Chain A
Amino acid sequence: MTAAADAPLFHRLASRAGPLVSFTIDGAPATAQAGDLLMTAILLNRPALRRFEFGEAHRAGFCFMAACQDCWVTLADGGRVRACTTLVRNGMAVLIDGDARV
């Protein structure tokens, strides 16, 4: 069984109570939970974090411990953050393939 091309990558095993966080990916609304790192928040909604800037590919992070630097993502305000060490916040606007609203 192969996962659909746009199916999320991560799968939440330990459910927990707590507030939801609303953010956007390429302009589309997405939901995460307080305490989710941005890497978790994105990959619970999407199969990848960013486009690879040196070729036709996407990347989804690799080491999850702030060493490989594979998970730097772009925000709509022009900022760049390392997704494995940044908590998702309400109103964050992540760009992967560009903003659908533009």
Chain B
Amino acid sequence: MSDPVIAIVGAGPAGLRAAETLALAGLRPVLFDEAERPGGQIYRQPPPGAERPGAAIYGLEAGKAQAVHAILPTLGERIDHRAGTLVWNVFEGRLDTLRAGAFAHQPFDRLILATGAMDRVIPFPGWTTPGVFTLGGAQIALKAQGVSIGRRVAFVGAGPLLPLVAHQYAKAGAEVVAVLDVTPFGAKLRSAAGMLAQPSTLAKGLYYVARNALGRARRASGVRAIRVEGEGRVAALAWTDHKGAEHRVACDAVGASFGLRSESQLADLAGCTFAFDALTRQWAPVRAPDGRSSREDVFLAGDGAGIGGADVAELQGRRVALTVLQDVGRPVDVAEVARLDSALARQAQFRAALEGAYPYPEHLVAAVADDEILCRCEGVTAGALRDVVRHKGAAEVNRVKAFTRIGMGRCQGRVCGHAAAELVALERGCPVEDAGRLRGQPPVKPIPVLGGFS
């Protein structure tokens, strides 16, 4: 009997560790990744010609990045790496793929989805002005290209990425003029005890905060009513402090985002059951501790099924591979299973505390004005959403999509979907989980029209 086909989507820390574990057990997994070079977003590698020393790119995480990057060169042909290949659909045990204009299919016996995450976006006045990027986008400009998004950069957001990106920019020589947290500082103090379960991460967070405090950047927590000023390009970032006083800092670029959201479209197309996570206020495919989804042939690892960060992604990648090995009748090291389960349990405790440190900034969603662009792809406003909720009985986001095209543009709701659900919930006065979630549709990213139907 021939070996089962194990397909993996995503060559970030989760997908790479899963592939490594399977390859070392004697299987040859097929690893699909949209990028040409492995590493995912967190350990994103510069393209050929733009390489720099690892320490300059990844800082304190350089050792981890290099270890993850070494997996494919070390294992060579034992992993079937399909670089630069978009997986745009999952259908009846088969992946639909696109590589450099060429369409293909990949049947699988088992599928591991390690599709990662992107920034969670909340609209605010001026957020579509050229020069406003997500915090993750600002970070990639620096990591992958050695450029800053502007000459005077302001950062605003919620989540551990905010102090990290600000620190990385300052260290690289950028002029950082403001680091503004839309969540209250008190929440961080209350969560500190939980974070002690993972002292190295806590120490790193404190290190970044302390380093930032040394700079000339304006720093504030609990800021509200953020807005970007400037016509055609960014001129300033303005905000209101917790006492209601107005502040403003001149800048020519802004990094802004509010936590992370899972890239879960393929899990949706694969038929996985989703559940709402109240802590992070988002839907994610249901994942058991051993990486199983609700489907027997689909497995989940990393941020694509709930945000855990890069270290958790590596652990989950290894763990899910052991589950798959067991399912296909290969021997599994039970001591390794126990070790991984114990490490993942410790990380889960820390993650809960971290999420508590950055409570969801509901005040930003409540402040979105009717004329604010909600759908970045097609310029549909928040007012258009409220109108169909109020007057056409659109009680959940898929109905809103049918009426307004919100979530139907090129990004398929990656940018607007979260905020759209929050706005529907506010308009109806219901919990956000009752506002539903946008259903995934193939293709999950733009593809040439003719090829997709060939």
| Complex contacts, B350 vs chain A, CB 8 Å | none
**Chain B: minimal CB distance from A82 (Å):** 8
B132 interface residue (CB < 8 Å to A)? yes
Whether A64 contacts B146 in the complex (CB less than 8 A), given A2-B235, A13-B173, A69-B377, comes out as no
A102 interface residue (CB < 8 Å to B)? no
* Contact in complex: B136, A16 (CB < 8 Å): no
From 60 to 95 in chain A, residues with beta carbon under 8 angstroms from any chain B beta carbon are 60-70, 72, 82, 85, 87
- Interface flags for B123-144 (1: CB within 8 Å of A; 0: not) read 0000010111110111011101
**Chain A: minimal CB distance from B380 (Å):** 8
* Contact in complex: A14, B379 (CB < 8 Å): no
* Contact in complex: B411, A13 (CB < 8 Å): no
A100 interface residue (CB < 8 Å to B)? no
* Contact in complex: A10, B141 (CB < 8 Å): yes
- A85-B86 Cα distance, complex, nearest whole Å: 12
Report, as a range, how many residues of chain B touch the other chain: 35 or more
B376 interface residue (CB < 8 Å to A)? yes
From 36 to 65 in chain A, residues with beta carbon under 8 angstroms from any chain B beta carbon are 36-37, 40, 43-44, 47-49, 52, 54-55, 57-65
* Contact in complex: B415, A47 (CB < 8 Å): no
| Complex contacts, B146 vs chain A, CB 8 Å | 12-16
> Which of these, B142, B230, B409, B446, contacts A13 with CB under 8 Å?
B142
* Contact in complex: B119, A63 (CB < 8 Å): yes
* Contact in complex: A58, B130 (CB < 8 Å): yes
* Contact in complex: B50, A63 (CB < 8 Å): no
A34 interface residue (CB < 8 Å to B)? yes
B34 interface residue (CB < 8 Å to A)? yes
Which residue in chain A gives the minimum CB-CB distance to B253? A9
Whether A62 contacts B132 in the complex (CB less than 8 A), given A37-B144, A67-B411, A87-B47, comes out as yes
Segment of B148-156, B322-330, B353-361 in the binding face: B148-156
Identify the interface centre among A37, A40, A67, A70: most chain B CB within 10 Å of its CB. Answer: A67
* Contact in complex: A18, B49 (CB < 8 Å): yes
* Contact in complex: A5, B376 (CB < 8 Å): no
| Complex contacts, A62 vs chain B, CB 8 Å | 132-134, 137, 376, 415
B56 interface residue (CB < 8 Å to A)? yes
* Contact in complex: B151, A3 (CB < 8 Å): yes
**Chain B: minimal CB distance from A12 (Å):** 5
| Complex contacts, B414 vs chain A, CB 8 Å | 67-68
* Contact in complex: B136, A64 (CB < 8 Å): yes
* Contact in complex: B147, A11 (CB < 8 Å): yes
| Complex contacts, A2 vs chain B, CB 8 Å | 230, 235, 250, 252
**Chain B: minimal CB distance from A57 (Å):** 7
Identify the interface centre among B142, B174, B233, B446: most chain A CB within 10 Å of its CB. Answer: B233
Identify the interface centre among B134, B145, B173, B411: most chain A CB within 10 Å of its CB. Answer: B145
* Contact in complex: B445, A69 (CB < 8 Å): yes
* Contact in complex: B379, A54 (CB < 8 Å): yes
> Which of these, B56, B133, B172, B174, contacts A63 with CB under 8 Å?
B133
From 352 to 374 in chain B, residues with beta carbon under 8 angstroms from any chain A beta carbon are none
* Contact in complex: B233, A64 (CB < 8 Å): no
Main secondary structure of the interface of A (DSSP, over half): loop
> Which of these, A13, A48, A68, contacts B376 with CB under 8 Å?
A68
- A86-B424 Cα distance, complex, nearest whole Å: 37
- A15-B146 Cα distance, complex, nearest whole Å: 8
- A2-B150 Cα distance, complex, nearest whole Å: 12
| Complex contacts, B140 vs chain A, CB 8 Å | 64-65
**Chain A: minimal CB distance from B367 (Å):** 20
From 12 to 42 in chain A, residues with beta carbon under 8 angstroms from any chain B beta carbon are 12-16, 18-19, 33-37, 40
**Chain A: minimal CB distance from B395 (Å):** 26
**Chain B: minimal CB distance from A48 (Å):** 4
> Which of these, B34, B130, B172, B263, contacts A9 with CB under 8 Å?
B130
B378 interface residue (CB < 8 Å to A)? yes
Whether A64 contacts B410 in the complex (CB less than 8 A), given A5-B232, A35-B50, comes out as no
* Contact in complex: B137, A11 (CB < 8 Å): no
* Contact in complex: B134, A63 (CB < 8 Å): yes
Which residue in chain A gives the minimum CB-CB distance to B143? A64
- Interface flags for B234-278 (1: CB within 8 Å of A; 0: not) read 010000000000000010110000000001000000000000000
B51 interface residue (CB < 8 Å to A)? yes
| Complex contacts, B119 vs chain A, CB 8 Å | 63
Whether A1 contacts B50 in the complex (CB less than 8 A), given A36-B145, A62-B133, A62-B415, comes out as no
| Complex contacts, A16 vs chain B, CB 8 Å | 50, 52, 146
* Contact in complex: B446, A10 (CB < 8 Å): no
**Chain A: minimal CB distance from B292 (Å):** 26
Whether A63 contacts B137 in the complex (CB less than 8 A), given A11-B147, A35-B46, comes out as yes
Some 17 contacts from A to B, beta carbons below 8 A apart, are: A3-B150, A3-B151, A3-B233, A9-B130, A11-B150, A11-B174, A18-B49, A35-B50, A36-B145, A37-B144, A54-B377, A63-B133, A63-B136, A63-B415, A69-B377, A69-B410, A87-B47
